[in-house]
Amino acid sequence: MSKVQVTAKQVYVSNGGINILSDINFTIAEKQHWVFTGPSGSGKTTLAKALAGKTFFRGSIDFSKKGSARDNVSIIFIEQQHRFKTLSNTTDFYYQQRFNAFDAEDAITVAEYLGDYYDPNHWIEKMQLPSLMQKPLIQLSNGENKRLQITAALLQNPDILVLDSPFTGLDTEGRKTLINIIDTISEQGILIILISNTHEFPTCITHIAELNNGKLEAVTAKEEYLSVNRHPLNTEKIVLPALATEDVLWHNDLPDDIISMKQVTVKYGDKIILDNINWQVKKGECWSISGPNGAGKSTLLSLITADNPQAYANHLFLFGKKRGSGESIWDIKRKIGFVSPELHLYFDQSINCFQVIASGLFDTIGLFRQLSASQEAKVDAWLSLFSLEKLKYKSLQQLSLGQQRKVLLARALVKNPPLLVLDEPCQGLDEEQTSYFSRFVNEIHNQYGTTILYVTHYSGDLPACINHFLRLEEGKLVENR
């Protein structure tokens, strides 16, 4: 168990004159491991950064360890989103590069990322990384990427490990594996501090600290926290904006076959990612796309969103037209609303919320043209629907990850697209926001007849309208109904 103690006294963090954290006081005693939880935007990640010395704060955070001076206590912060440099020493990857074999050659490999760290505890083997050592980082699955992040941290021999939402994007087996890994780490005497919105806690966790609006509301022993019923979720009726006349015609004029794939195969070198996929999606259908990390889900979606060049080498029809028969990628994208973890990771963080949402009208990563009055009104309507009005002129980088995700969801919906492709759309959202979005998508389908493709590792998050199911395992179709 951990021999480290952490004491925070009157910690304040502000940004632009607004308090993000206010009067935070707590003590993590020896042999304890904590989870900080709370709604999106409550200050969890900011607190994690303050603990790790990654952001300025007022007050004090003191660390002590038996037999060590304060300066000898090592703390490492593992971010939720993993950003890395290319071989060209830049960070300007764009999300389509994951599907382009030539561009991926500019990404460093796992071996290059880990470098020459001495590994006395054999963490590289324990994290099941030897088989991935020559794989480019941009092609790692969420589970593989998280294991790499943790391994790189452990090779630096930390006393304290702070993990921000480590279970985000992991499938059921991936979450179980990571829970076991965290328990193993705690047995080495490393203090574990988790930032999390889930109720899946490693065995080592002893206390749950709840944040709300930047304040520490309660600290509870894990067993007591799990025994208490959480607050009931909001079930208030959702009212959507009326579709413009041209949008109604746009939905109605589409062919019955939205997607048609026959014997679709995608491979990089000798590695097969999708193997002989046959699948049809009719107008107005709502599909769940599931499968473990690395099964090929994101690659499947990239063929549909016109982000994967291998679409041209396959028998693939979108909206009644064969790929490569003369339509541009913009002809396809204008009919699709899309959000994914990759799009979020590589989106321009410097532009404000209004510009992000407005860019969805033109399928660009940024706003490069003047809006009409009706387009401005449409963006404002979606800002209101997602309760983002107060954040309208704030840049993405000024928001919490949960707030960023809400902005990108509004971007996907702003043009009322006939096809919604939602790849793990609720990553970073708290339980209430996830429930709201699920009902929101259901209402969109009911009112607009929107065709929906929905990917999630939590079956309980699926909107009620989902009634078709596709499952991939190792690139093969194992369920299609």
Nearest CA-CA partner of 178 in 156, 145, 210, 131: 145
Q: Determine if residue 450 is left, alpha or beta; phi over 0 gives left, psi from -120 to 50 gives alpha, anything else beta.
A: beta
Query: How many domains does the chain fold into?
Result: 2
Predicted pLDDT at 86: 55
User: Lowest-pLDDT range, 97-101, 109-113, 307-311, 476-480?
Assistant: 97-101
The neighbour count for residue 211, using CB atoms within 10 Å, is 22
Pair 440, 365 in one domain: yes
Is residue 234 domain-resident?
A: no
Predicted pLDDT at 405: 87
pTM (2 d.p.): 0.82
- pLDDT tens per residue across span 207-239: 999 999 999 999 999 999 888 755 566 677 777
Predicted pLDDT at 242: 65
Is residue 221 domain-resident?
A: yes
Predicted pLDDT at 94: 46
Pair 172, 254 in one domain: no
Q: How far apart are the C-alpha atoms of 142 and 121, rounded to whole Å? A: 24
The per-residue pLDDT of the chain, averaged, comes to 86
Pair 190, 251 in one domain: no
Is residue 294 domain-resident?
A: yes
Once rounded to an integer, what is the mean pLDDT over residues 83-93? 54
Predicted pLDDT at 143: 76
Pair 446, 340 in one domain: yes
Predicted pLDDT at 30: 93
- pLDDT tens per residue across span 422-464: 999 888 788 888 888 898 899 889 888 899 999 998 888 899 9
Choose between 35 and 139: higher pLDDT: 35
Pair 252, 209 in one domain: no
* Contact status, residue 240 vs residue 444, Cβ threshold 8 Å: yes
Once rounded to an integer, what is the mean pLDDT over residues 387-402? 88
Once rounded to an integer, what is the mean pLDDT over residues 398-420? 88
- pLDDT tens per residue across span 116-158: 787 877 889 888 888 889 888 877 877 788 889 899 999 999 9
| Residues 167, 131, 475: CA angle, nearest 5 degrees | 70
Give the range of the structural domain holding residue 214, as residue numbers without chain letter: 4-227
Question: pLDDT band at residue 278, thresholds of 50, 70 and 90?
Answer: very high
- E strands, 225-376, are 257-268, 271-282, 286-290, 315-318, 321-322, 336-339
Question: pLDDT band at residue 105, thresholds of 50, 70 and 90?
Answer: low
From residue 402, how far is each of 43, 215, 326 by CA, in Å? 11, 17, 39
Q: At what angle do helices 401-413 and 431-448 cross, to 10 degrees?
A: 0
Is residue 192 domain-resident?
A: yes
Pair 215, 251 in one domain: no
* Contact status, residue 69 vs residue 151, Cβ threshold 8 Å: no
CATH number for the domain that contains residue 429 = 3.40.50.300
Torsion of CA 262, 268, 271, 272, to 10 degrees: -10
Question: 423: helix, coil or strand?
Answer: strand
Beta strand pairing call for 451-455 and 419-423: parallel
Q: How far apart are the C-alpha atoms of 204 and 1, rounded to whole Å? A: 9
Pair 201, 54 in one domain: yes
- Residue 175 in this model has a pLDDT that exceeds 90: no
Is residue 39 domain-resident?
A: yes
Question: pLDDT band at residue 102, thresholds of 50, 70 and 90?
Answer: very low
- pLDDT tens per residue across span 308-341: 889 898 999 999 999 888 888 888 998 999 998 8
Please name the helix (run of DSSP H) or strand (run of DSSP E) that holds residue 85, with its range, or none: none
Beta strand pairing call for 419-423 and 34-37: unpaired
| Highest mean pLDDT, choosing among 65-74, 266-275, 468-477 | 468-477
Pair 16, 42 in one domain: yes
Predicted pLDDT at 97: 46
Once rounded to an integer, what is the mean pLDDT over residues 260-280? 93
What does the block give as tokens for 135? 């794989």
Pair 223, 262 in one domain: no
Q: How far apart are the C-alpha atoms of 51 and 159, rounded to whole Å? A: 13
pLDDT-above-90 percentage for the chain: 46
Predicted pLDDT at 247: 62
Pair 199, 306 in one domain: no
Question: pLDDT band at residue 385, thresholds of 50, 70 and 90?
Answer: confident
- Residue 160 in this model has a pLDDT that exceeds 90: yes
Is residue 43 domain-resident?
A: yes
What does the block give as tokens for 330? 């913009």
Predicted pLDDT at 106: 63
